């Protein structure tokens, strides 16, 4: 059964909503009996979260991230200054220590702070700010005790920690966050009152009023919609979006029902999976810090803790295979994961711009998630770099080829360094004129010195790489019909001109039947096998494409060379 809001809580709501909403408001609390969080769930405002145990040494909380007041002045007279709020500590006796006494003295103040932190740590709406191991819980507790002790007029207690604006700068705390923290504190006050019956409702109102006045210095997101985290509905909504098997419409349930990828999750720890994915999404622009998990209260962030933090994406997916086919994650599997996430976000009503923001973070994780043999399938992990040397008009020395690059006409091409430094494939195009293709030898030299022979005297089975034999195919080649060499080319390079019925006809023009002007390399007696000679080698640096003439009486000119290099980020031959 819900109980009505206490006068102290009503006063707090008014103090928070007025400065937070300003002229945008319409929010009112008069006569209210419940509050609704941003996920749409309605809870009793006086019991917004269960009372938890005080934080232990292994549970850390945000340093001064939601403390009660910036002032450092000592208590004087009958009032205590906290920010802009004046708290009357005892209107009947004028004794500034009376409120402190009714709280149970400094010991009681510490008990109240521990109780409040216990409630906060059990409240998923706000505990994301605290359950990170870069939070100094001891410092937070000490500052809260000083602050509350000063408000209560405890003798010799003065707040000397950071002012509120400095302490909370950059945290992105919203009005919803502040309200939920304040309501948790109100819950802790109610519990504390049970152990200290001298503490009156007016005392609680005064304490909560002091807290409420701090909203302008603490709240950075007055409308609770400045970030994806806030707009989605904060941690409770993210937990529901991630979900679990059987939670219809959630991401994990979508994956569990997806036969294309559910084999990867056969041995998954779904509680831990939910916690880690929730923290990961919540850390995009929210308060959680993925990988900095702590020992949370029972039932909060299950499956993780000190020494068992969420793994990096690379570590979490290392060695992961589909139980159905024992193959690692490839780009199609990754695409299925993305589709399942999009479906879950649409079911949850996540707006399109926020979906794009989440997917924008997920995309770069592709390389960490895919198995090593598939990483180059990820966006940005591959490209085709085309480098050209055109308008060369370089004479091919007649009858000088002796097997060396020095005896050939060469074009120099430089491939830039852009982080994609492994060769996955090479395609070569040569534009030249020559009256006897059977005289020609074409070679490529890579940046590391590797040499591969692409063409070696078509139509002639020569004994050595050089001069001495006669004769190969007597067809002509023309710059108007460049020759393209690539692995998988339709015609063996040794057969260039073989389908031409006459003499002195032009390759790629006069074949019967016509052929595609793409040739698979054939090294003949020269070094190398084919363009896979460069597979996995470095792309960056200077490449040379050279053409030589090993027979007398026919001449030619090299006009242009084009190298198209498929570059990848990861070695394709690990």
Provide the pLDDT confidence category of residue 470 given band limits of 50, 70 and 90: confident
Fold category of 233-377 in CATH? Globin-like (1.10.490)
- What pLDDT is recorded for position 67? 37
Of the given ranges (250-254, 327-331, 337-341, 468-472), which has the lowest mean pLDDT?
468-472
- What pLDDT is recorded for position 95? 56
Pairwise CA distance, residues 521 & 322, whole Å: 38
3-state secondary structure of 432: strand
Mean pLDDT within 48-62? 34
Mean pLDDT within 231-259? 97
Pairwise CA distance, residues 45 & 3, whole Å: 9
Q: CATH 2.60.120.260: which residues of the chain?
A: 382-568
- Predicted confidence (pLDDT) per residue in 492-515, tens digit: 999 999 999 887 899 999 998 888
- Predicted confidence (pLDDT) per residue in 354-393, tens digit: 999 999 998 899 999 999 999 999 999 999 999 999 999 9
Mean pLDDT within 285-308? 97
- The number of beta carbons lying within 10 Å of the beta carbon of residue 421 is 18
The structure tokens listed for 199 are: 């503490």
**Owner of token pair 């999976």:** 273
- Predicted confidence (pLDDT) per residue in 407-432, tens digit: 999 999 999 999 999 999 999 999 99
CATH of the domain spanning 382-568, picked from 2.170.150.70, 1.10.3470.10, 2.60.120.260, 3.30.70.20 = 2.60.120.260
- Predicted confidence (pLDDT) per residue in 113-142, tens digit: 999 999 999 999 999 999 999 999 999 999
Mean pLDDT within 191-219? 95
Q: Say what the pTM is.
A: 0.77
Fold category of 7-218 in CATH? Globin-like (1.10.490)
Q: CATH 1.10.490.10: which residues of the chain?
A: 7-218, 233-377
Mean pLDDT within 276-281? 97
Provide the pLDDT confidence category of residue 97 given band limits of 50, 70 and 90: low
- Predicted confidence (pLDDT) per residue in 1-43, tens digit: 333 445 444 444 443 433 333 333 333 333 333 333 333 333 3
Contacts 24+ apart (CB under 8 A), 158-164: 158/72, 158/73, 158/74, 158/75, 159/69, 159/70, 159/71, 159/72, 160/72, 161/64, 161/67, 162/64, 162/70, 163/70, 163/217, 164/67, 164/69, 164/70, 164/83, 164/214, 164/217, 164/218
């Amino acid at each position: 059964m819900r109980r009505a809001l206490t006068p102290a809580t009503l006063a707090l709501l008014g103090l928070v909503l007025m400065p937070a909403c300003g002229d945008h408001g319409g929010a009112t609390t008069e006569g209210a009996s419940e509050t609704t969080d941003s996920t749409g769930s309605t809870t009793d405002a006086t019991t917004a979260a269960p009372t938890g145990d005080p934080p232990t040494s292994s549970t850390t909380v945000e340093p001064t991230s939601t403390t009660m007041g910036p002032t450092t002045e000592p208590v004087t007279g009958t009032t205590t200054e906290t920010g802009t709020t004046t708290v009357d500590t005892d209107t009947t006796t004028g004794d500034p220590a009376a409120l402190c006494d009714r709280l149970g003295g400094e010991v009681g103040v510490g008990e109240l702070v521990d109780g409040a932190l216990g409630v906060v740590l059990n409240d998923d709406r706000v505990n994301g700010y605290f359950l990170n191991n870069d939070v100094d819980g001891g410092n937070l507790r000490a500052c809260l005790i000083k602050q509350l002790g000063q408000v209560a007029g405890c003798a010799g207690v003065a707040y000397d920690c950071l002012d509120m604006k400095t302490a909370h700068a950059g945290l992105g705390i919203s009005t919803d966050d502040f309200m939920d923290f304040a309501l948790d504190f109100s819950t802790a006050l109610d519990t504390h009152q049970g152990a200290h019956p001298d503490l009156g409702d007016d005392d609680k109102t005064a304490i909560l009023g002091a807290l409420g006045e701090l909203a302008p210095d603490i709240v950075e997101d007055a409308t609770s919609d400045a970030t994806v985290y806030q707009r989605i509905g904060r941690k409770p909504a993210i937990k529901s979006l991630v979900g679990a098997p059987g939670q219809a419409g959630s991401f994990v349930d979508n994956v569990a029902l997806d036969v294309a990828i559910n084999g990867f999750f056969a041995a998954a720890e779904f509680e831990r999976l939910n916690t880690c994915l929730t923290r990961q999404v919540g850390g995009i622009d929210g308060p959680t810090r993925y990988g900095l998990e702590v020992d949370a209260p029972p039932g909060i962030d299950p499956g993780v803790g000190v020494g068992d933090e969420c793994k990096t994406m690379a570590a979490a997916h290392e060695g992961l295979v589909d139980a159905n086919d024992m193959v690692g994650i490839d780009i199609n599997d990754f695409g299925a994961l993305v589709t399942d996430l999009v479906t879950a976000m649409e079911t949850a009503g996540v707006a399109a711009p926020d979906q794009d923001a989440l997917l924008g973070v997920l995309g770069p994780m592709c390389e960490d998630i895919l198995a090593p043999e598939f990483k180059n399938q990820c966006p940005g992990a591959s490209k085709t770099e085309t480098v050209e040397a055109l308008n060369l008009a370089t004479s091919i020395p007649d009858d000088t080829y002796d097997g060396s690059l020095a005896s050939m006409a060469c074009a120099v091409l430089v491939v830039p360094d852009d982080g994609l430094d492994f060769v996955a494939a090479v395609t070569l195009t040569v534009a030249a004129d020559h009256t006897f293709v059977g005289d020609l030898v074409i070679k490529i030299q890579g940046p590391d010195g590797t040499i591969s022979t692409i063409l070696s005297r078509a139509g002639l089975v020569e004994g050595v790489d050089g001069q001495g034999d006669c004769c190969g195919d007597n067809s002509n080649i023309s710059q108007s019909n460049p020759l393209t060499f690539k692995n998988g080319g339709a015609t063996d390079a040794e057969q260039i001109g073989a389908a031409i019925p006459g003499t002195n006809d032009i390759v790629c023009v006069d074949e019967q039947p016509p052929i595609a002007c793409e040739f698979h390399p054939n090294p003949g007696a020269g070094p190398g096998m084919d363009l896979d000679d460069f597979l996995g080698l470095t792309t960056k640096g200077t490449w040379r494409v050279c053409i030589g003439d090993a027979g007398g009486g026919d001449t030619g000119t090299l006009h242009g060379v084009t190298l198209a290099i498929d570059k990848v980020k990861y070695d394709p031959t690990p």
